[in-house]
């Protein structure tokens, strides 16, 4: 009587016994199934390994080749879109001559430079500069909005310990950092440029700047995001305007400066705190040290008296030679103690607390 072998018996029994053709056909299926399962497991394991390798969560950038990438943009491009895990890019000291974009689908990311003054991202585009070397056949030019050195589109991005520079010089609008993303944090960084150094864009975005050095000439902090500047040094390079907010009517807050130092170079002695890029601009300075370069009138209406009705410009408890308020424009405000109490991060950012 012919035996029907179990799967466990198949490998040894087939080799030893002479079975009928029918039995051999039935039992030969066993090793085929076994081999198929092993192959499937191997392929699956390889796919998971490749997936993990394709989307690293920690990347190091180094100009000398000791990291994963030599360029910042290459590291950003390697990240997983809408990553469910937090990613970190470490950037070693060096001069990175790049124009970098963090696209909208790159979120949940920390960028950490090795040091504030020696990890430098720089570029030199400006509004009016030709986009292409062939200016005969292609006369396209940069605008303010394409002149950036670093453009942050994604949400939940934080950057620390580095310098972001637009080195174009005094050639007009030349943005160093352009931020569209919500819940953006910049800590312990230098923002270097001249006109339009920092563009805080997007009326639904909340942006937080802490312990940063920000320099420029005209309107070098501008845009319509809700932005807080805490313990920053705001350094003027010429007699002009610091802020040019374009706050929208529905926004409760625009620019808020807390515990900041306002400084200037030796040749600069007549600087306005701000002027309204759009009619409903909101800018407030609280507990800041205003240098002697700040003009006694404080604020400018951008040549439009109607802006004096719609713009909200206010100060509270500032000190320094530029903080004397007796000669401020009549349409600006001095906050009371009660009014100043609402200027907390929780209120300004609608519950979001930068960490």
Give backbone dihedrals phi and psi of 323, rounded to 5 degrees, phi first.
-95, 5
Asked if residue 223 and residue 142 are part of one domain, the reply reads yes
- Cite the beta strand spans of 26-85 per DSSP E: 58-61
Specify whether 145 is located in the same domain as 26: no
Look at residue 52 and tell me if it is in a domain: no
Is 196 found in the same domain as 63? yes
Residues 73, 31 within the same domain: no
Residue 94 has pLDDT above 90, yes or no: yes
pLDDT on residue 4: 39
Q: Same structural domain for residues 115 and 234?
A: yes
Judge whether 158 counts as a catalytic residue.
no
Percent of the chain with pLDDT over 70: 85
My answer on whether 31 and 168 are in the same domain is: no
- Rounded CA-CA distance 343/65 in Å is 46
Residue 354 lies in a domain: no
* Tens digits of residue pLDDT in 38-78: 656 655 555 444 454 578 899 999 999 999 999 999 999 99
* Residues 171 and 43 reside in one and the same domain: no
Residue 53 resides in a domain: no
Residues pairing with 319 in the sheet: 289
Active-site residue (options: 180, 196, 203, 269): 196
- 158, 180, 182, 219: which one is catalytic? 219
Residue 131, number of CB atoms within 10 A of its CB: 13
Residue 180 known to be catalytic = no
Whether residues 43 and 64 share a domain: the answer is no
Q: Is residue 2 part of a domain?
A: no
Overall number of domains in the chain: 2
CA distance 161 to 276: 31
Q: Is the pLDDT of residue 210 over 60?
A: yes
Give the structural domain span for 28.
Answer: 10-47
Averaged pLDDT for residues 219-232: 98
CATH number of 295's domain: 2.160.20.10
Give the percent of the chain with pLDDT over 90: 82
């Amino acid at each position: 009587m012919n035996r029907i072998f179990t799967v466990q018996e198949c490998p040894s029994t087939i080799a030893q016994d002479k079975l009928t053709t029918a039995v051999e056909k039935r039992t030969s299926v066993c090793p085929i199934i076994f081999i198929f399962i092993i192959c499937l497991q191997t392929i699956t394991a390889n796919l998971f390994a490749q997936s993990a390798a394709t989307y690293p969560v920690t990347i190091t950038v180094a100009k000398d080749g000791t990291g994963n990438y030599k360029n910042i943009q290459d590291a950003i491009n390697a990240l997983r879109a809408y990553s469910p895990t937090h990613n970190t890019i470490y950037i070693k000291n060096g001069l990175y001559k790049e124009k970098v974009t963090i696209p909208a689908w790159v979120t949940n990311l920390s960028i950490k430079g090795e040091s504030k003054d020696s990890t430098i991202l720089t570029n030199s585009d400006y509004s009016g500069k030709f986009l292409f070397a062939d200016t005969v056949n292609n006369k396209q030019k940069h605008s303010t909005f394409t002149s950036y050195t670093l453009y942050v589109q994604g949400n939940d991005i934080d950057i620390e310990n580095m310098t972001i520079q637009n080195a174009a010089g005094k050639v007009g609008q030349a943005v160093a950092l352009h931020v569209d993303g919500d819940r953006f944090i910049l800590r312990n960084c230098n923002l270097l440029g001249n006109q339009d150094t920092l563009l805080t864009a997007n009326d639904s975005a909340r942006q937080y700047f802490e312990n940063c050095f920000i320099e420029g000439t005209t309107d070098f902090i501008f845009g319509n995001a809700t932005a807080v500047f805490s313990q920053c040094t705001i350094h003027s390079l010429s007699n002009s305007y610091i802020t040019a907010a374009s706050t929208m009517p529905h926004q409760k807050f625009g620019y808020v400066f807390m515990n900041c130092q306002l400084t200037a170079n030796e040749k600069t002695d007549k600087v306005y705190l701000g002027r309204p890029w759009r009619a409903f601009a909101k800018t407030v300075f609280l507990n800041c040290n205003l240098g002697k370069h700040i003009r006694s009138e404080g604020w400018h209406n951008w040549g439009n008296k109607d802006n004096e009705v719609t713009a909200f410009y206010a100060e509270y408890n500032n000190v320094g030679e530029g903080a004397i308020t007796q000669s401020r424009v009549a349409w600006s405000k001095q906050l009371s103690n009660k009014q100043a109490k609402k200027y907390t991060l929780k209120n300004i950012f609608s519950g979001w607390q930068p960490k």
